[in-house]
Amino acid sequence: MPDPSPYDHYRPVDADYTEAIYRVVGTGVDEDDGTVRLLEVADADGRRVTTGRLVAVPREDLAGFEPAENPDSGFRPLQVVDGLLEEIRMLRDRLR
């Protein structure tokens, strides 16, 4: 696996980490501790989340990750539709 850079995105495929998309926020180069800091930025389906969950991954564990698409890139119409449907469901549940 190439050296990760800040803002690269990865998802675990053969690693014991929660299924999600993670953004590299620290490479461990300056700290020299051999870990990469990953921030969870999307769920397994690629939908944006804001959990604040930060994971320290040893560099050797990165072999179980694959590059992933940035969940913030581009406009996705289906994401807008999903959001509207969720709002309607929440409103319906609230009015019950």
pTM of the model: 0.72
Q: Strand runs (DSSP E) across the chain, as ranges?
A: 9-12, 20-26, 35-43, 54-58, 65-67
The predicted pLDDT at position 81 comes to 83
| Residues 23-40: tens digit of each pLDDT | 999 987 666 678 899 999
The predicted pLDDT at position 40 comes to 95
The whole-number average pLDDT for the span 12-24 is 93
Q: Is the pLDDT of residue 12 over 90?
A: yes
